Structures are given as C-alpha cells and as structure tokens.
Structure 1
Amino acid sequence: MRLATRPIVVLLLVTALAASPGGQSRAQSDAPRPVTPDPAVEQVPPTDIAEPRALQPFVATYEAWYEGKHAGSATMRLVRDDGASRWRVDLGVRGDRGFAGIFNLNIEQSTVFDVAGDGDVYRPLSQATTRKAALFFNRRTTGTYDWHTNTARWTGDVSKARRVPVPIAHGDMSGLLINLAVIRDAEPGASLRYRFVDSGRARDYEYRVSAAAESVTVAELSYQALRVERTNGGNDEMILWVADGVPTPVRILQREDGEDAIDLRLVEYRAAQ
C-alpha cells in the first residue's frame, strides 16, 4: 500500500539524506551485516567550489516534492549540543499538500554526534526517528552507538531483526551525518566512500562527484554546484548538489527505476547559534 511506503521513502531520502537507505537495490537484504570498513549566511549564489569547511550551526528550509508534485516542506538544522564537542543534526519532513497533506505525514529524525580525529570524523552517539500519519500510526525508534563495545543497537518500533546489535567501527555514520560528510568532502572528480549504520542496518555507500560545477536552480535561485551521485544504489538513484558557501545540499533527489520520486529543494538557509 502506498500509504505505508511513502513516509518511509521520504525519510530514506535524506537520511543522506543523499545517504539514503532507499538508494539500495530491492533485491538486497535490510538485515544487519558486519562490514569491514576501509582503513548569518546570505542568499547569494556562489560561484566557486571551496575547500572543505568546518561545521557551522545552520537552519535550512526545503520544499518537498513527490513524483513531481509539491507535497510539503522539510527543515534541516545543525546545532551545538552540550558544549563545544557535541553536535546535533535534525531533519523534519511535514506533508501538507496532496496525498501527504490528507494524512498529515510527519517525520522527524535526529542524530547527536561528536567530532573525532582532526575534525574529519563525525562520530554518532545517539539517533532517534519518529514517524506519524494522522490516526494511522505513530512510531518511534531510538539508537545508541556504544564506542566502548563498538556496537550500535536500536529499540522501539523496530523489527526483531533490526534489534540485533550492529558492529561499528571508526568512521561509521548515520544517514544524516553522511549528508554533512558529503558537504565537507565533495571536490571536483572525487570518489567518496562511507559506511552507513542507521536504524539497525549497515551498508556501504559510494559516491562520484562531478568534474566541474553545474548550474542548478531551486526556489528561483541559481547556484553553481557539484553534482554528487551514489554509484552503488542499484535501481534507486540518489543525487545531491553541493554549492560553495552553503552548509547543506541545495537539492536532494531520489529517483526510482529512472523516475523522480522524492525531491528536496532548498528555499532558504541561515546561520544559527
């Protein structure tokens, strides 16, 4: 039934965001599996691609589109959490138009993390996801990344298979953290590799960055942005556009079997405290 799948698809798009569980071949299993990892801003369209930047708090608002139709809005927020060393990244998606509006679809996800190494490792500490749809369901899951035992575990409204502890290693990230890492790491022509550990699942994500920036227009603003595509997503495609000076993707597009599915388009962003 499409009612059951649509809110999940929206969540998967940005838990990335562009790092998305939706970017996985349908023939592949969702069961946990151990994997050995490899050792205030102004709205001015940027012109050049800059070097990777340090984390800065921000709030960004997106239009959410589904199959080419405006379905609602999304907000992504990065804030400091409990001092200088800990951060929290939040994503909220609200359906207020069309099918999504009828059922009042609402998804919220959050990851608390710290920054390890020389500032190049975003280490997840906890994760929470809430999914609501009017009177149809209200589901919440929480995850804990234990870096003493090197395992992650999820509880709440999650299947028995995804309650099994997932082995984790240095460099593993939640979907939201992969979004931030793509912003940090995207350089012309680069190949990016991450390990996604989120919601009781573990997967390898590989991305290819375009050799040069291209023009992309969202909310009547034009940006010169690098196109970042996931290359191992099977029949599902995940594409992000990353622009210099913008702390979040200017567009996030998930395509299924060659057709546009979820499309988040940046409306505005600003610095936060």
Structure 2
Amino acid sequence: MQRLTQLITCLLGTLLFGAAAAADAILPKPFTATYEVTYRGMRAGQITFKLTRDDATGRYTYETTADPSFLARIVISNAAVERSVMEIGPNGVRPLEWSLDDGKPGTARDGQLQFDWNKKLVTGVIEGEKIELPLEPGLQDRLSIQIDVVTSLLRGEEPGLIPLIDDNRVKRYSYVKKETTSIDTKLGKLDAIVYESTRQGSSRQSRFWLVPDREYLAARAEQIRKGKVETVMVLQSVQ
C-alpha cells in the first residue's frame, strides 16, 4: 500500500457517526463527510468518506476518495478508491468485501479481500500477494473497523481490542478513552471525548476527538509517531 494512504487510513479509527433515532441506535446513517488533511505540517489535500445502505439487502458500502494536493499526488492519485461492504447486526459489524484501487495503471499496489463467515476464512490478493487467513470473531478490515468502533460507542460499550486485517496479517488495535475537552470546529465549539488507539509493538498512536452530542462524529483526528504528530485531519463538511 502507498505509505501516505496507509497513514490516513490507520488514522481513521473512528471517523463515522451513528444514527440519531433510538430505534436505529446501533446503525449508522448514510452520509458524506470531508476532512482536510495535513502531513508533517504540509497540506496534503482532502479525503471524503461516503456511507450508503442498500435497502434491499441491508448491506452497507463505505468508501473513501481523495483530492490530494499537488505535492501529495506523487503518492496518492485522485482516482484512488478504497471500499468496504459489510453487514451490521445485533452482534456488530461483519465485513464481507474489501478493495483498494490506487487509481494508477496496473494492479501492483491494488488489493481485494473476501470474508467468508461460514467457512471462517479470508481470501484475496494484496499487492500481488495471495492472502488466506483464518477468520476470527470480530475481525475487521481497514474501513469497517471505523464503523465497528462507533457502533460499540452507540451501544454504550467501549471498543476495547479490535483485530484488523491489514496487508497480509492480523493486527490488534486497542481503543482507550483518555479525557473530555472542547474543540473549535466549523460546526462551532463542541464538547468531545478524546480516544487513543495503539497497537502493541508499534511506535504509532492515533488520537480522536469524538462528539457524543453528534453521534460520535470525529471533529479532529491525529496520528503520532515517536511522540511527534504526523498526520492531522479536521472536519470540513458533513451531508
């Protein structure tokens, strides 16, 4: 995967927000949200997240598209698309398909995964490498993990430790509540809960400013490496 794409995706541990209606408390609403991205203090462009629901099947499709700055186009194409198809039910989120098209000629850096919950197997190809891994309970892909985190919060549960398939192996991310604070945004001043995501053995950590009054909308997200902030995402618009 391209490095900056990985940084942005890992940063997005909780950028979704859920339904406002009590009857749909564990389900996210379809939406489109755009964030401004900076990398090491330099503008990297914008990234947009779009969640849709197929009323016929009940399945959700969540995808990201980028509008990179001139310099960021060296590593990210404005034609790049990452997508996850999933089910959301009483037991949480179950990814069904994941794909990445880097928007450039060839498939050397593309990827696709299929989750067979009956056979308990994940198969696919990532960057030309064949993937076949056992499917454990709660396993997420790089996009579905976002929905899984917020679904837990909407149920009044802590996300805890979540297994994530990234590239050719399973990684485990821990989400911990750190503090409450206020943050100035284009939506005004909002009360937020700061969550931190870490992985054992990694020098990186992610931090998210989640707004309970807006169904855990992330007003800001940061990725820190060796104690220094590298990537920052700030909410620009929501539809």
My pick for the range that moved more, 88-97 or 68-77, is: 88-97
Question: Which of 88, 92, 95 does residue 124 from structure 1 map onto?
Answer: 95
Matches within 5 A, 1:1-273: 7-15=2-10, 17-18=12-13, 53-81=26-54, 83-97=56-70, 99-101=71-73, 105-106=77-78, 107-116=80-89, 118=90, 120-132=91-103, 139-155=109-125, 157-159=127-129, 163-186=130-153, 190=158, 192-211=160-179, 213-219=180-186, 221-233=188-200, 234-244=202-212, 245-246=214-215, 248-270=217-239
Once the two structures are TM-superposed, the CA of residue 242 in structure 1 deviates from its matched residue by 1.3
Once the two structures are TM-superposed, the CA of residue 221 in structure 1 deviates from its matched residue by 3.7
Which secondary structure does the structure 2 equivalent of 1:9 belong to? helix
Q: Deviations over 1:30-65 (max 9, x none)?
A: xxxxxxxxxxx9xxxxxxxxxx65321111011011
Distance in 2 (CA, whole Å) between partners of 1:268 and 1:10 is 21
Once the two structures are TM-superposed, the CA of residue 176 in structure 1 deviates from its matched residue by 1.3
Once the two structures are TM-superposed, the CA of residue 11 in structure 1 deviates from its matched residue by 3.0
Structure 1 residue identity aligned to 2:171: R
Aligned residues between the structures: 227
Which secondary structure does the structure 2 equivalent of 1:83 belong to? coil
Which secondary structure does the structure 2 equivalent of 1:148 belong to? coil
Gaps of 5+ in 1: 20-40, 42-51
Q: CA 1:84–1:223 in 2, change beyond 3 Å: closer, same or farther?
A: farther
- Who is 2:22 aligned against? none
Q: CA 1:102–1:110 in 2, change beyond 3 Å: closer, same or farther?
A: closer
Q: CA 1:190–1:113 in 2, change beyond 3 Å: closer, same or farther?
A: closer
Distance in 2 (CA, whole Å) between partners of 1:137 and 1:96 is 23
Once the two structures are TM-superposed, the CA of residue 156 in structure 1 deviates from its matched residue by 5.4
Q: CA 1:248–1:175 in 2, change beyond 3 Å: closer, same or farther?
A: farther
The structure richer in strand per residue is: 2
Once the two structures are TM-superposed, the CA of residue 165 in structure 1 deviates from its matched residue by 0.7
What is the RMSD of the two structures over their aligned residues, measured on CA atoms?
3.0
Aligned partners of 2:11 and 2:222 also within 8 Å: no
My pick for the range that moved more, 246-255 or 10-19, is: 10-19
Gaps of 5+ in 2: 19-24
Distance in 1 (CA, whole Å) between partners of 2:174 and 2:226 is 19
Q: CA 1:248–1:166 in 2, change beyond 3 Å: closer, same or farther?
A: farther
Indicate the percent of aligned positions where both proteins have the same amino acid: 20
> How high is the TM-score relative to the length of structure 2?
0.81
Q: CA 1:112–1:137 in 2, change beyond 3 Å: closer, same or farther?
A: closer
Which secondary structure does the structure 2 equivalent of 1:183 belong to? helix
